[in-house]
């Protein structure tokens, strides 16, 4: 066994030196890997704009009307669940993943699910899974993302309110 070192100092064998180099490389790979979304992140949903509720501009400000939970699995897929209250009673809303941190700064959108409210205006989407291949495609794409969930009755229809979150979803698409 070859022994390397300096006179009077610690001597490291060739085998241990290779192990140290290998561990350093593994640590660097993990340090530069993209970070996925924090597990089970919860962001408030607000009744932001439109003809039902407070009205006004779509600016991510309004009375709290529920929450959005999101998580990212080991493959990079995003799971979103929306819980809302104070919506229009007995109404089916479309849930959109909006490319960009706000509607005003949107670069596109994709309907990913629906929510149907009960007679009191409350509803839950259940788990909506957005596969990695969908997140990698336009208008989204790979890299660090800051997108939002938008809930409206139909695309461009704010008659039943426009709901979105106070801050964007932040996650990384491999």
The pLDDT tens digits for 150-161 are: 999 988 888 888
Residues 6+ apart with CB under 8 A from 15: 1
The pLDDT tens digits for 73-83 are: 999 999 999 99
CA atoms in the 13 A half-sphere facing the CB of 6: 1
CB of 18 within 8 A of CB of 57? no
Report residue 102's pLDDT band, with 50, 70 and 90 as the boundaries: confident
Q: Give residue 74's Cα distance to chain centre.
A: 14
pLDDT number for residue 27: 41
The pTM score is: 0.77
Over 90: is that where the pLDDT of 49 sits?
no
SS3 159: coil
Q: Which residues of 48-62 are buried (b: 16+ CB within 10 A; e: fewer)?
A: bbbebbeeeebebeb
């Amino acid at each position: 066994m070859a022994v390397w070192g300096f006179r009077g100092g610690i001597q490291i064998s060739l085998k241990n030196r290779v192990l140290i180099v290998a561990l350093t490389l593994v640590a660097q790979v993990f340090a530069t890997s993209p970070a996925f979304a924090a597990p089970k992140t919860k962001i408030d949903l607000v009744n932001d704009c439109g003809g039902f509720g407070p009205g006004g501009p779509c600016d991510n400000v309004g009375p709290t009307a529920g929450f959005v939970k999101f998580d990212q699995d080991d493959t990079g897929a995003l799971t979103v669940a929306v819980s809302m209250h104070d919506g229009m009673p007995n109404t089916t809303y479309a849930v959109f993943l909006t490319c960009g941190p706000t509607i005003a700064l949107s670069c596109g959108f994709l309907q990913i699910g629906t929510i149907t409210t009960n007679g009191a205006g409350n509803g839950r989407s259940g788990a909506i899974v957005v596969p990695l291949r969908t997140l990698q495609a336009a208008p989204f794409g790979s890299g660090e993302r800051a997108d939002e969930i938008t809930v409206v009755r139909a695309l461009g229809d704010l008659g039943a309110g426009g709901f979105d979150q106070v801050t964007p979803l932040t996650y990384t698409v491999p």
